[in-house]
Amino acid sequence: MENIFLNHWAVLVCAIANLGVGALWYSPLLFYKAWLKETGLDEARLSNANPARLYGMAFLLALVMAYNLAFFLGDAQTDWKWGLTAGFLAGFGFASLAFTLIALFERRTMGYIFINGG
């Protein structure tokens, strides 16, 4: 195996940023009400969740995703521009399109696809 450079602090920051961007994305400032409508959920159902468990699992999954991308970008020659480009390509080219593919078969609306795939 080649030498891979992992910046564990950067991975941690990316996992935290994932939660921060998600919190903003699904907040009342942006898409909260539209997301509730598109998913058919209501605030009463959402209030039944255990926040420690939910956010703990979300952080763990965000950390795994950040490490996964870090392994692909672990070359010493990688700079922030390539990291940003690779992050976009992975996010859009894999995650968002895979989500869209599943949502199409689930017969979800385009609003649902744009909010969750975004």
Predicted TM-score of the model (pTM): 0.77
Confidence of residue 62 (pLDDT cuts 50, 70, 90): very high
Nearest to 37 by CA among 98, 115, 97: 115
Q: Cβ distance 75 to 5 under 8 Å? A: yes
pLDDT of residue 89: 87
pLDDT of residue 93: 83
pLDDT of residue 17: 95
